[in-house]
Structures are given as structure tokens and as C-alpha cells.
Amino acid sequence: MKLAKVSVLVIGALCLAILGASIALGEPAKDVPGKKADSTGVGKATGKEKMVIEWPKSGNWATGEMFAGPPVTQFFYPKGQSAVEWTEMGSVEFDGSENTFDLAGRARLLFLGTQKGSPNATWTILTRGYKDEKNQGFPFVFFRMNCPDFISGEPAQVQYWLLMLGKTGMFTVQYSYKGKDIPADKGNAILQAMKDARIEAVK
């Protein structure tokens, strides 16, 4: 199994616990944590396409750590939160070595990895299809995981995952909320943000 694939499984198994993820993803790249959230840069290194997602304005989201990878990963937090202490966390990952069309299968692998750390976790595929339905371009799968408890003793989490395949690799957008359920206002805002997420060509 390729190193990039192992990294993805490690992230799923730990439900993106930051300390573990930093080891799996490599050394931090140069970045300025705290600046206004801009996920459009993730994947930009390919010179061909990028992921665009607008994190909810109500949280004043800002960029956090970026790991050069591969895969390259950028973390995001609402104002006042960080890798050390957070209630909400988002990330965008780009894996240029991944071109699988079995996104539902990849989603299941992420869930099975998560179950290793949260045996009572459950998951639901919310929607799947193509962002460009006319040309069957940019296939995606969007799913939710509920992690009521963790072997490590970490608090419960609700996670949303979006896997989308571009022309140069796979983008993964992930959101985590510490708690057994997401408040309606936060949940609705995140659902809309991830629904609107898209891959665009780099100009």
C-alpha cells in the first residue's frame, strides 16, 4: 500500500487527532496560521486545479497548520481555536497519486479505519454523484460519521467527509465537531459549505 494511502487510513483511525496526524502527514510547510481561511491553495501546486470551499462566515474561520505531505493538507479553525484546543476543525487534503473511481469504497476504508479508534462509530453516505453531471466529471461521495466514544478517551465527535476526484488527483474535505451532535446552526452552515465545495482550474 502506498504511503499516501496509509496516511489517509491513519487519519481516519485517529479521527484526525492533530498530534497523530502531524506525524503521519510529515513536516509542516511554511504558512501563517491565523490568516483568513483560504482553502483554494490546496492542490494548487499541481498548477492545474484547486479545491474551493467557503467555511462558514459566522465562525471567522482561519488557516491553521499546513503539512507538505504528500499528501498536502491544510487545517482550518474558527477564531480562537487551534490544534491544541478546538471544538470545530476542518481540513482540505490533496493526493496527487490517487485516481480511484471507487470513492464509496475509499469512504468505507476511512470508516473502518475510524472504527479501530471508535468501535461504536457509525456512518451514512449522504449523497454521491458528479459535480459536473452532464459530462460525468468530478465524481464525489459525501458522508457523515458519528463517533460516540473513543478508546483513547477523547470526547465524542461528529464528522463530515467529502471525497472528490479531480483531473490531477483526489481532494478530501473534512469537518469535525466535538460533541454527540452538531447544533443546528453550525450543522446547516457546514452542510451548505461542503455542498458548495468544488474543484476549479488554476488560472
Per-residue pLDDT of the chain (203 residues; tens, 9 = 90+): 333 333 333 333 333 333 333 323 333 334 455 566 655 556 555 568 999 999 999 889 999 999 987 889 999 999 999 999 999 999 999 998 888 889 999 999 999 999 999 999 999 999 999 999 888 899 999 999 999 999 999 999 999 999 999 999 999 999 999 999 999 999 999 999 999 999 998 87
Is the distance from CB of 51 to CB of 43 less than 8 angstroms?
A: yes
1: which 3 cell numbers?
500500500
pTM beyond 0.85: the answer is: no
- Domain extents in the chain: 3-201
Q: What is the pLDDT of residue 3?
A: 34
Show the 3-state SS of 131-191: EECCCCEEEEEEEEEEECCCCCCCCCEEEEEEEEECCCCEEEEEEEEECCCCCHHHHHHHH
Written as nine digits, the cell of 80 is: 480562537
CATH superfamily membership of 3-201: Mog1/PsbP, alpha/beta/alpha sandwich (3.40.1000.10)
User: What is the predicted pLDDT for the residue at 134?
Assistant: 86
What phi, psi does 66 have (nearest 5°)? -125, 130
* pLDDT of 36: 64
pLDDT confidence of residue 40: 55
DSSP secondary structure letters along 82-94:
-SSS-SEEEEEEE
Q: Is 105 helix (H, G, I), strand (E, B) or coil?
A: helix
Closest CA to 200 of 134, 132, 141: 132
**pLDDT attached to residue 99:** 81
Q: How far, in Å, CA of 79 to CA of 170, rounded?
A: 28
What is the structure's pLDDT at 21? 37
198 burial level (CB within 10 Å; 0-12, 13-18, 19+):
middle
